[in-house]
Structure 1
Amino acid sequence: MIEAELPQNEAGRIYALNGYQILDTMAEQGLDDLVQLASRICEAPVSIISLIDENRSWFKSSYGVPRGEVERKYSICSHAILQKDIFVIEDTLLDERFHDNPAVRGDLSIRFYAGAPLTTCDGFNLGTLCVLDSKPRQLSEHQYQALSVLATQVVQQFELRKSNLEILRKNKELQYLNESKDKFFSIIAHDLRAPFHGILGFSDVLETEIETLDEQSIRDIAGYLRSTAQATFKLLENLLQWAMSEGGAIVYQPQSVNIAELMSDVCEILQAIAQKKNIQIECDIEEGLHCYVDLNMMLSVLQNLISNALKFTPNGGQIYLSARKQQEQVEITVRDTGIGMSDEAFKNFNSRQQIRSEKGTEGEKGSGLGLLLCLQFIEKNQGDLTVKTEKGAGTTFVIHFSTQQSHRSQLINVDYKMIGEEYL
């Protein structure tokens, strides 16, 4: 037996074959009809659509034998894909390449073989439409031409199938984009209207009634305007981040990040909020700890999680931040002594379903996008996020990231299918 050489375009051929997403799929009536027709026209008891991958000849459709596969080195089709035209062996026992082949000597008892290459428009032979017989014979000119035509029809079926899969994929993407758009406008309509109504209302009071207000009242209104403006600004930032992520515009730029320095930067940003609620933030960061992530995404993740902890922790509470190395991963923990998550919120988080935004311990409102962005960015950095919560005892978020560099796409492609909608 002589094994077939690899085609010169083998790498491209395998890539093209995988692009059809057809290997190891179920039988399809249209292709089954073509192999049956090939068998009848060529007056052969067996007909097969055989696809050749790296290691095997896999039967997409077959007539006369069960669907299955054989090792590539034993497949006569592996010789046929080296040809431009139909590959015909009138008597395998008289051919030194096949006379001792297990497929010839075994149960199939192949004595006659004719295989038409399944050639794509790019010139890749994916496999064959072949007919087999247990006795030596020839193909008539009519049968030869018919087998060639049927092989072309098989490839067209492949192309049609590929186009249908692409349409389904595009429709699914469009559905996600429409859902995201509706979600986006819903958040804008709900979360932006409310603070602006307050800002406009108190601004009107200051403009029309400032002479009647005492100093404390003015300070109270100014404080409300400031806190509301800050919350609205954060909402706008999150909306912009989400919109850019949804459009694939956020560039993923991983680097080795010092966790202690990152935590320090985040705590500095949020220190004013912590002081206002008299919340103590304690850090326990392993010295010299680094992880390989996108710095801006990590900053956003930690800022949102710690903001979340501050929001749901009552006055005088505590927040504990820790980071330690575990084998080839970094474990980052954000734990608070707050009110904990509701049963519904916890259940929805674990099932990645919509989580209703809830008010904080002092009536703080959230953007509805913070946790969404956290999950999005953590997943894009090949990390994972888990949560443990107990009513009245607090919530713990645990993140795991790799300490090693990995090869990732430089643009984020968003999939909201498995991400909750609102929490913060």
Structure 2
Amino acid sequence: MQQKYISSKEKLRRAALAEYAIFNSGEDKDYDQLTYLAAKICQVPVAKISIIGKNKIWYKSVYGVEQDEISRKNSFCEQSIWAGEEIFSINSKDHPEFFEQAKGVYQCNYQFYAGVPLLNANGHAIAVFSIFDTKIRKLDTEQKKSLLALANQCMNLFEARKHKTKLQHVQRKLKQKYKELEKFASLVSHDIKSPLANIISLTELLKDENKEKLDDQSRQYLDFLVESSYSLRNYVDGILKFYRSDHILEKDFEDVHLPTLLKKITDLYSLEENVQITYPDKGHLKKVNKAALSQVFMNLISNALKYNKKNQRKVDITFKTTDSYYCFAVSDNGNGIKKEDIDKIFKLFTTLDAQDRDGNHGSGIGLATVKKHIEQMQGSIDVISEIGEGSTFKFKIKRP
């Protein structure tokens, strides 16, 4: 059988192999199981998954013999990838020349070989799934089907590894871009906050030193200027908190006593007038991100109290568990949210016309951060609300 070696095809084949990052990639039990099955089903002593390099053949998995790598020249795998056959199967009786050439390549004196080229989507062979025997034999129909099926599964593993490698590369690039964006946001916010502080200070000074000279309208203009400056400063602070929130998600997971966690958070609001916050007196959480969960509760409780114009402000927190999730609900008797606005409140920088009890507008960042934290903890959040009656934020996070 004439070897079909074309240099341009070989270059394309090597380029395809490089995409899989499989050469010299170490042992893997998944591949070892495939070679074990191939040897048992086909009743042969040796099975291999051979990665075809430039000059060498390296084994991703070997069953039945110990061998690190061999020369590619005169190997059976070299014949397999250029034969153009689904299964390249030969024995020494019918093709003595191949076995004579291979004597200096292999440790054993093989008399039978069958190899399935592992092809990528463009038809380039990156490896060979093969079996060997020291005696002359042939495969029956079922053994051929089984060998092809195992080879197909091996190629699926290669594809999965390739996609995983690409994903990891994209993740690294995104992480680097995110760090650059965070650094940019930090620098810009600093450059904005410094002149903002000057604007606020100078405006307050101007108002105090000229309070007798300014009419009511002029003083009102200055008040608007100060208020807008504070709003912009809070907005900048919110952006920084959102981008820095990913650092919270990198914290270690730990066991949490829920009542203790909630007590520390609710104590922050206990000094406010007419505030009543209730929470469970029992609850143990295993392996959760305490920092992220604390941030979620702080944002939800803070919003529940800010957007509540009633004299007696109430927040009730409940907790239950399922087989897969820790489930929470934060309910209030506040202003409520319009049904058409519920889908908007978790979008970054989306603000509603509503004002808090101090007359301030939100930044559209707090609830976006809440949603991000919960989704990173493999959970979800929903809202039930009625104008004038209050809202209930139900969320769940994955439990171990």
Output the TM-score relative to the length of structure 1: 0.49
Identity of aligned residues (%): 20
Asked if the contact 1:254/1:294 (under 8 Å) is kept, the reply is yes
- State the partner residue of 1:80: 48
- State the partner residue of 2:377: 381
Asked if the contact 1:345/1:355 (under 8 Å) is kept, the reply is no
Q: Supply the distance in 2 between the matched residues of 1:188 and 1:77 (Cα, whole angstroms).
A: 68
Q: Matches of residues 179-328 of structure 1 in structure 2 within 5 Å?
A: 199-200=200-201, 202-209=203-210, 238-246=238-246, 251-272=250-271, 274-275=272-273, 278=274, 280-287=275-282, 289-290=284-285, 292-316=287-311, 318-327=313-322
Q: Supply the distance in 1 between the matched residues of 2:238 and 2:369 (Cα, whole angstroms).
A: 8
Q: Supply the distance in 1 between the matched residues of 2:292 and 2:168 (Cα, whole angstroms).
A: 32
Unaligned residue ranges in structure 2 (runs of 5+) = 1-16, 23-29, 50-61, 70-74, 78-87, 95-110, 119-125, 139-154
- State the partner residue of 1:371: 367
Gap change, CA 1:171 and 1:204, over 3 Å in 2 = same
How far did residue 397 of structure 1 move?
1.0
Q: Which secondary structure does the structure 1 equivalent of 2:128 belong to? A: strand
How far did residue 79 of structure 1 move?
0.6
Gap change, CA 1:336 and 1:196, over 3 Å in 2 = farther
The one-character-per-residue Cα deviations of 1:300-340 (angstroms, maximum 9, x if unpaired) are 21111111112322232533222333245543221122333
Q: Which secondary structure does the structure 2 equivalent of 1:319 belong to? A: strand
Output the TM-score relative to the length of structure 2: 0.51
Q: Supply the distance in 2 between the matched residues of 1:301 and 1:318 (Cα, whole angstroms).
A: 19
Asked if the contact 1:92/1:112 (under 8 Å) is kept, the reply is yes
Q: Supply the distance in 1 between the matched residues of 2:319 and 2:243 (Cα, whole angstroms).
A: 33
1:336 aligned to 319, 332, 336, which one? 332
- State the partner residue of 1:357: 351
The one-character-per-residue Cα deviations of 1:21-68 (angstroms, maximum 9, x if unpaired) are 99xxxxxxxxxxxxxxxxxxxxxxxxxxxxx746658xxxxxxxxxxx
* Letter in structure 2 aligned against 1:357: T
Asked if the contact 1:259/1:323 (under 8 Å) is kept, the reply is no
Q: Supply the distance in 1 between the matched residues of 2:286 and 2:264 (Cα, whole angstroms).
A: 16
Q: Supply the distance in 1 between the matched residues of 2:392 and 2:386 (Cα, whole angstroms).
A: 9
Asked if the contact 1:77/1:128 (under 8 Å) is kept, the reply is no
Asked if the contact 1:323/1:330 (under 8 Å) is kept, the reply is no
RMSD: 5.6
Q: Which secondary structure does the structure 1 equivalent of 2:279 belong to? A: strand
Q: Supply the distance in 2 between the matched residues of 1:325 and 1:344 (Cα, whole angstroms).
A: 29
| Count of paired positions | 287
Q: Supply the distance in 1 between the matched residues of 2:39 and 2:340 (Cα, whole angstroms).
A: 54
Q: Supply the distance in 1 between the matched residues of 2:326 and 2:21 (Cα, whole angstroms).
A: 36
Asked if the contact 1:115/1:130 (under 8 Å) is kept, the reply is yes
Unaligned residue ranges in structure 1 (runs of 5+) = 1-16, 23-51, 58-69, 95-110, 119-125, 138-153, 407-424
Asked if the contact 2:116/2:129 (under 8 Å) is kept, the reply is yes
- State the partner residue of 1:169: 170
Q: Supply the distance in 1 between the matched residues of 2:262 and 2:164 (Cα, whole angstroms).
A: 48
Q: Which structure has the greater CA radius of gyration?
A: 2
Asked if the contact 2:90/2:113 (under 8 Å) is kept, the reply is yes
Gap change, CA 1:288 and 1:177, over 3 Å in 2 = closer
Q: Supply the distance in 1 between the matched residues of 2:339 and 2:321 (Cα, whole angstroms).
A: 30
* Letter in structure 2 aligned against 1:115: G
Q: Supply the distance in 2 between the matched residues of 1:86 and 1:288 (Cα, whole angstroms).
A: 64
